[in-house]
Amino acid sequence: MNGVHDMGGMDGFGKVEVEKNEPPFHEKWEGRVLAMSRAMGYAGAWHIDDSRYAQETLPPQTYLAVSYYQRWELAAEKNLLLRGYVTEEELKAGHAMGPAKPLPGSKLTKSVVDAGMTRSSFFRQQQGPARFKPGDRVHTVNINPLGHTRLPRYARDKIGRVELIHGCHAYPDSVASGRGDDPQWLYTVVFDGREIWGPDADPTLTISIDAFEPYLEPA
């Protein structure tokens, strides 16, 4: 979707402000939110792109106004409700009021925390040969889906070059719409800065995205 989360190239947000000696968490609740999200993900309650999509579909005013971990918390609530793990009444009451829905996977307990903290693999069985190879010129598609996509607006309908092949991966656009992994080849595609931003762009700039095969056509 064309949401405010897709920030590449937007103007007006100001300087990057760096905090010296920043702690891992600024408040205790931030760590709890992160850990809860990890635990629910480990148990298979939802996929990482479901979490991203839940954030992207927050009202834009909310997305911009709240902090990173507040977005995580709001996304977790949305996914818990959407998937029937909790009810609105429970969230209001702050307590469980009905039976639990069985989790697809196993619960993250203390004894499996190390496994739970290892990032899962996104490699999937290939469904066919890769359409492109390093060096190929490609044209990114012009799409504006209402659903989740990982093709940023600034990189749509642009000419680039395939630089790396990362194997076959779960396809976020499919996963986040409940249509399963639909494995796709993944490529690093590099663009000249002027192709993206026009003739006034820094001539030394190149930008790459990681693009799933459906985002690309031969050029």
Partner 1 sequence: MADHDHDHSHDHGSELSETQLRVRALETILTEKGYIDPAALDAIVDAYETKIGPRNGAMVVAKAWTNPAFKQALLKDATAAVSTLGHVSRVGDHLVAVENTPQRHNMIVCTLCSCYPWEVLGLPPVWYKSAPYRSRAVKDPRGVLGDFGVKLPKETEIRVWDSTAETRFIVLPMRPAGTEGWSEERLADLVTRDSMIGTGLALNPAELAK
Q: What is the footprint of partner 1 within residues 18-57 (CB under 8 A)?
A: 18-19, 22, 24-29, 31-36, 38-40, 43, 45, 48, 52, 55
The reply on whether position 82 binds partner 1 by CB under 8 A is no
Question: CB of 129: closest distance to partner 1 in angstroms?
Answer: 20
The reply on whether position 84 binds partner 1 by CB under 8 A is no
Concatenate the DSSP letters of all residues of 177-204 into one string.
TTS----EEEEEEEEEHHHHH-TTS-TT
User: Distance between CA atoms of 130 and 148, rounded to whole angstroms?
Assistant: 23
Q: State the DSSP code for 46.
A: S
Give 185: exposed, middle or buried? Use CB within 10 Å, 0-12, 13-18, 19+. buried
Residue 99's contacts (CB-CB under 8 Å, 6 or more residues apart) are: none
Strand partners, 30: none
User: Distance between CA atoms of 104 and 45, rounded to whole angstroms?
Assistant: 6
The reply on whether position 94 binds partner 1 by CB under 8 A is yes
Question: CB of 138: closest distance to partner 1 in angstroms?
Answer: 15
The reply on whether position 166 binds partner 1 by CB under 8 A is yes
Residues 125-144 that bind partner 1 (CB under 8 A): none
Residue placing its CB nearer to partner 1 in the complex, 9 or 128: 9
User: Distance between CA atoms of 218 and 132, rounded to whole angstroms?
Assistant: 8
Using the contact rule CB under 8 A, the part of the chain among 119-127, 135-143, 174-182 near partner 1 is 119-127
Residue 219's contacts (CB-CB under 8 Å, 6 or more residues apart) are: 137, 138, 139, 159
* 61, 125, 142, 204: which one binds partner 1 (CB under 8 A): 204
Question: CB of 9: closest distance to partner 1 in angstroms?
Answer: 5
* 59, 62, 117, 145: which one binds partner 1 (CB under 8 A): 117
Question: CB of 122: closest distance to partner 1 in angstroms?
Answer: 4
Of 110, 92, 93, 106, give the one whose Cα is nearest residue 40: 106
Question: CB of 99: closest distance to partner 1 in angstroms?
Answer: 8
Q: H/E element holding 124?
A: none
Residue placing its CB nearer to partner 1 in the complex, 2 or 127: 2
Interface size with partner 1, residues (CB under 8 A): 91
User: Distance between CA atoms of 99 and 97, rounded to whole angstroms?
Assistant: 7
The reply on whether position 159 binds partner 1 by CB under 8 A is no
User: Distance between CA atoms of 46 and 80, rounded to whole angstroms?
Assistant: 9
* 2, 105, 107, 219: which one binds partner 1 (CB under 8 A): 107
